[in-house]
Chains A and B, each alone.
Chain A
């Protein structure tokens, strides 16, 4: 068992408040320095990531240790110009060596990177361990940094004693920010469309070396506080986190900087609590932020999409239950349905059915007349929803058979899935496209549309079935209904154009008075026309393109439940 003292007890006051009240200057300095490192790394890392240079950046940051060590051994200083020049030079040599190896010799790029970075890094560590102590450089600090140590060296700034590293990092962040601002368009083009950038006259090679110099600057700047190894994580983790959250470059830069800065704050308290390296704690905090984003990110988060999936599954099983109960109505006497029968026929595990029934009861779609018994009954709302589903299912089958040419016995499985996904508008569009059919390819009736086109009970004439009686209430034109006193009149208002205008004009020419009662006496499926008997005894044939524009208030509930096809054994088929 781990030592109980491995994780000391966390105390909010002790670990989060005390450091700020006790020694504000040091705490603020540490967090600020870490945040500046985090922001610079986040920005540079974002570009590396978008360029697909994440691993090269990683390898180069490692090699730069050699440059820093060499420069430090030669000059005795761990910061300033020579160190930066050393890091850039070694980075450049590494890039050239990698390119040379994988174009000249037959070493693949990945192996070339691995060899170059390990050789240079190993050499740096050998030098470090041999000359430890000279030039204020010891192995642990060089590799993993030490923020408190970095803050110890101070210099004079406008009359104040300010840690040198803080000044340097602030300058670095400002410089990187300025570069991003100045070369925003060029960087954007390089990051997302290199060919476009090349056409625009940008030179990829120059860009690469520019990136290399900025990377060297960042590694050198972050060297004292987080070291040459941990800086790699700060380059990649915040940028990757931001990438999960956004697809846009400005957002990505903003978020990567924020994640970098937040890692510093969280990391500081983590390190204070556990008494560990601040750099390591910063990386851990960044990883934590990445993990949270990866799990709960709004669009791609693992947990988010799992929840979405579970929700969809739950909705689909609920819909399957009510649609099946609706279908059972046509072959069973109108008594409550037994839960076990449903389970058997739907082939659903008991917990799924139990959950679906519980949710449906909660949404008032199912009634459980006997309380906790196994008897279930559809409510009016449930039947309404089931009808919608059944209509979508059967219209989709009709669409596949009529328009796509799929064999009749192959359409059921896809319809079973798609019925849950089709929107109301899409179902009605399908209905129109198919000429408002009344039966599906298996001969089973397609339920009527349950939602009126203009208010409850008001449909376009096309949706009426044989025997339906209705009263004319207006014309519909791109969603705008026009009713005038006396008779329906054509309008020439703006927006009413083309076929729709012609159709309304033709209906107006028929001189059907508003409020006229009519009955559908016949439908001709071939040329898609409706025979309508008017109250004055006239019978007129209206083609599909006209019936779609005539709004009718349906009188009395249609006599057979489904419309004009008597329900028979066929309806149980699907």
Chain B
């Protein structure tokens, strides 16, 4: 994964790796505990954020906490978690209030309001940050620089205490309101009709999200913390349709991404944690996207390939039958061992003999045809399949002409697409509809 890439690039040393995993270093222990808290809280809430399509709101609030953090730092004149968390929470709430206010009282669309508040707050916050760097207590305490991209190793015991309480609140909140959150996430209108207070649930969720954003500032930093909410949950959503499983996977991914990213940044001589965690999470997402059983790229590619190959086989089978049919002087169904010479088939299919042989090979392997002495003969199984396909094709053609009223010369293309996906049940149904539709 990208993990090895990071190793390669950072030419990180193995003693650091051992030091990390032996957990002897208290700073590493604190950072790991912080990342675990973070993984649990943002994994849980992220699932609801993604389902409710609020991803960008998380992003906006993430950027918008910067001025709050800076003001909290200014008031306390030190990295006091109470002031920093308090300031961040206040800024997140003010930002979400402003987004609503500007959206309601101006012509600007909701997405523009979000972008406006987020980038504006961030710019103001950055200005405050550069101001703090000029101040004596700001340069002394370099801790504030790390709010941009996070530094998990700077998590103090007091920070950890706050993070623990916040995580507990989030877990309890999600646990207690689980049913309401689930209902409103999937079908808000239905939830409202059966008496779920949807507005209250929304505000509860927003408060919890603000809380989780605030506790991820330390480890991930304000610029990228939305990834902590969105990416693990979206990866989990690709893998399952069930919410409990999704929550579990989301927490798992968030935690794994956090720990691995932390490890990578630790080995890269304490580089900012956030980008490493986010790159790891993106790797997990990319993996899930490729390998997901239903929605994954690989599965989709395989499914499509399987379908294409089957359609090719069936087309060859059909052409053998049709070529045999055409070679009969009298017309009608060809006699029992349906056979056609290779040359004639090649002419019928307008293909070169080598290409034809290649196309015939999978059919021979499946026991549908025999090729002997320049002659292609359908086996009984092959004949049965061929007749079935021809039948499907002609049923469709007929259906499209009679029921869908397409002109006769326009039906072939449609029927050729559909013949491969006609199930036996559907074929019977079609047959019944066309009542006299025999071949």
Q: Given that A118-B224, A232-B115, A274-B131 are known contacts, is A108 also in contact with B126, CB under 8 Å in the complex?
A: no
- The answer to whether A16 has its CB under 8 Å from any CB of chain B is no
- The answer to whether B216 has its CB under 8 Å from any CB of chain A is no
* Interface of A: prevailing SS: helix
Candidate in B59, B127, B148, B271 with the most chain A CB atoms within 10 angstroms: B127
- By beta carbon, the residue of chain A nearest B54 is A110
- Residues of chain A lying within 8 A (CB to CB) of residue B289: 101, 105
- Residues of chain B lying within 8 A (CB to CB) of residue A235: 119
**Which stretch from A120-128, A422-430, A443-451 is at the chain B interface?**
A120-128
Whether B126 contacts A107 by the Cβ 8 Å rule is: no
* Interface of B: prevailing SS: helix
- The answer to whether B230 has its CB under 8 Å from any CB of chain A is yes
- The answer to whether A300 has its CB under 8 Å from any CB of chain B is yes
- Residues of chain B lying within 8 A (CB to CB) of residue A205: none
| Cβ 8 A contact of A284, one of B114, B123, B296 | B123
Whether B272 contacts A230 by the Cβ 8 Å rule is: no
Whether B119 contacts A284 by the Cβ 8 Å rule is: no
Compute how far the CA of A427 lies from the CA of B282 in the bound complex, rounded to whole angstroms: 68
Q: Given that A107-B237, A111-B55, A300-B106 are known contacts, is A275 also in contact with B116, CB under 8 Å in the complex?
A: no
- The answer to whether B77 has its CB under 8 Å from any CB of chain A is yes
Q: Given that A107-B238, A114-B59 are known contacts, is A6 also in contact with B135, CB under 8 Å in the complex?
A: yes
- Residues of chain A lying within 8 A (CB to CB) of residue B54: 110
Residues of chain B in range 106-150 having any CB-CB distance to chain A below 8 Å? 106-109, 111-112, 114-116, 118-120, 122-124, 126-131, 134-137, 148-149
- The answer to whether B223 has its CB under 8 Å from any CB of chain A is yes
- The answer to whether A83 has its CB under 8 Å from any CB of chain B is no
- The answer to whether A461 has its CB under 8 Å from any CB of chain B is no
Q: What 0/1 readout, one digit per residue, does chain A (95-136) give for beta carbons within 8 Å of chain B?
A: 000000100111110111111001101110110011000000
Whether B120 contacts A290 by the Cβ 8 Å rule is: yes
- Residues of chain A lying within 8 A (CB to CB) of residue B231: 114-115, 118-119
- Measured CB to CB, the closest approach of chain B to A215, in angstroms, equals 14
Whether B116 contacts A113 by the Cβ 8 Å rule is: no
Compute how far the CA of A328 lies from the CA of B214 in the bound complex, rounded to whole angstroms: 63
Q: What 0/1 readout, one digit per residue, does chain B (272-303) give for beta carbons within 8 Å of chain A?
A: 10111011011001000100100111001000
* A-B contacts, 20 listed (Cβ < 8 Å): A2-B74, A58-B115, A111-B233, A111-B234, A114-B55, A114-B59, A118-B226, A118-B230, A118-B231, A118-B278, A119-B227, A121-B278, A230-B122, A233-B122, A235-B119, A280-B126, A280-B129, A283-B122, A284-B123, A287-B123
- Taking Cβ atoms with an 8 Å cutoff, the residues of B that contact A are 6, 9-10, 50, 53-56, 58-59, 74-75, 77, 102, 105-109, 111-112, 114-116, 118-120, 122-124, 126-131, 134-137, 148-149, 223-224, 226-227, 230-231, 233-234, 237-238, 268, 271-272, 274-276, 278-279, 281-282, 285, 289, 292, 295-297, 300
- Taking Cβ atoms with an 8 Å cutoff, the residues of A that contact B are 1-3, 5-6, 49, 52, 54-55, 57-58, 101, 104-108, 110-115, 118-119, 121-123, 125-126, 129-130, 143-144, 229-230, 232-233, 235-237, 240, 243-244, 247, 270-271, 274-277, 279-284, 286-287, 290, 294, 300, 302
